[in-house]
Structure 1
Amino acid sequence: MIECSQIRSRLSVLNQFIICLTGMPGAGKSTVATFLQSKGFHLITMGDIIREKAVENNLPMDDKSLGDLMKNLRKHHGNEVVARLVMEKIKELENVSLIVVDGIRSYEEYIVLKNIGFVKLLAIHASSTIRYDHIKLRDRSDTPSNHEKFLQRDEREMSVGISKAIALADESISNNDLSLIELKNHVEVIIKKWSDEYDNWKQKSFLTT
């Protein structure tokens, strides 16, 4: 017999609207994630999960160490390992219906999360020059110290499959020449469209359960 708590948990997961963000470093994913957070979305950052694992293993927080850790986790536990950890966090959010996941790095990660609820993938594009300018403004321990290290980070991201995630995203935004207001406006248009789809999806899901 199914307990009431199990039913509540199942419905919560079933009805969640999850936006996954992908894009090369410095494209503007975090800006979009913060904006969605201000709109009521609960933010989960995949990079934070890597940083948590680094703390557990007493590893430095520099870019190379975190990058090597990310690759090792995928090598030993599969390309979907970080997404599975994210999925566990999402399942704990029983009363949260709006979630944004910042930092999808492979299409396989997206497929794992797509099984949870109503999930969409948004790619943020920007040129290498724009992205490097953005990254230089960051005040984070994993910020590349020079352009060479920035390019090495790009190569690492490409090696785990981010190109496919970007190419197969449900929607994409080119963030080369956009002001902050323009970027937010683009996001709002997409979210409005997806919100309407989400409402229809919920109704159909309710009728078939």
Structure 2
Amino acid sequence: MAELTVRKAEAAAGSSDTVLIDGVRSWEEVEFFERAFGDVVVVAVHAPRRVRFERLVARGREDDPKTWEEFVERDERELGLGIGKVIALSDAMLLNYGKSKEEALREARELLAEVVRGGGRG
């Protein structure tokens, strides 16, 4: 999966030296992207479990968990893949709850602008 993501990212980036990839689930994927692209900045996006569940239910995708039990099972499976390590070792974290969608998007844009300027690590 990471190899396909790299090919798509390279094609989409064109002459840009910045690529945004979402949905990383394991530290091995991060390491793969570091080998492919060099400098990688990992940004974790956090919201409480109950908030994430409510958002998934509202989103209504076919493959989304429909019950709390299915959601918890998916969370546990992703933790087993190593998503907890990705979050723990991230370079920055966005908190995606307790604020308006507009405020969350503004904060995300500000952080991404900082990363593009080279200030996202640390």
TM-score, normalised with respect to structure 1: 0.52
**Is this contact kept in 1: 2:13–2:19, CA < 8 A?**
no
**CA spacing shift, 1:118–1:127, aligned 2, 3 Å:** same
How far apart, in 2, do the equivalents of 1:90 and 1:164 lie? 23
More strand by share: 1
Cα displacement (A) at 1:117: 4.0
Point out where structure 2 has 5 or more consecutive residues left out of the alignment.
Answer: none
2:97 aligned with 1:172? no
Residues 154-179 of structure 1 show CA distances to partners (whole Å, capped at 9, x for unaligned) of 11111100000011111101112121
Amino acid at match of 2:90: A
**CA spacing shift, 1:112–1:194, aligned 2, 3 Å:** same
2:27 aligned with 1:107? yes
**CA spacing shift, 1:94–1:174, aligned 2, 3 Å:** closer
Q: Which residue of 2 aligns with 1:83?
A: 2
Counterpart selection for 2:78 from 143, 146, 157:
157
2:78 aligned with 1:147? no
How far apart, in 1, do the equivalents of 2:13 and 2:113 lie? 24
Cα displacement (A) at 1:118: 3.8
Amino acid at match of 1:136: V
Return 93-102 or 157-166, whichever deviates more.
Answer: 93-102
How far apart, in 2, do the equivalents of 1:153 and 1:168 lie? 21
Cα displacement (A) at 1:189: 2.1
**Is this contact kept in 1: 2:41–2:91, CA < 8 A?**
yes
Point out where structure 1 has 5 or more consecutive residues left out of the alignment.
Answer: 1-81, 199-209
Amino acid at match of 2:60: D
How far apart, in 1, do the equivalents of 2:12 and 2:98 lie? 36
Amino acid at match of 1:167: A
Return 85-94 or 106-115, whichever deviates more.
Answer: 85-94
Residues 41-93 of structure 1 show CA distances to partners (whole Å, capped at 9, x for unaligned) of xxxxxxxxxxxxxxxxxxxxxxxxxxxxxxxxxxxxxxxxx212212323444
How far apart, in 1, do the equivalents of 2:13 and 2:51 lie? 39
Runs of 4+ in 1 over 3 A off after TM superposition: 91-94
Q: CA RMSD in A?
A: 1.8
Alignment of 1:1-209 (within 5 A): 82-93=1-12, 95-97=14-16, 98-115=18-35, 116-197=37-118
TM-score, normalised with respect to structure 2: 0.85
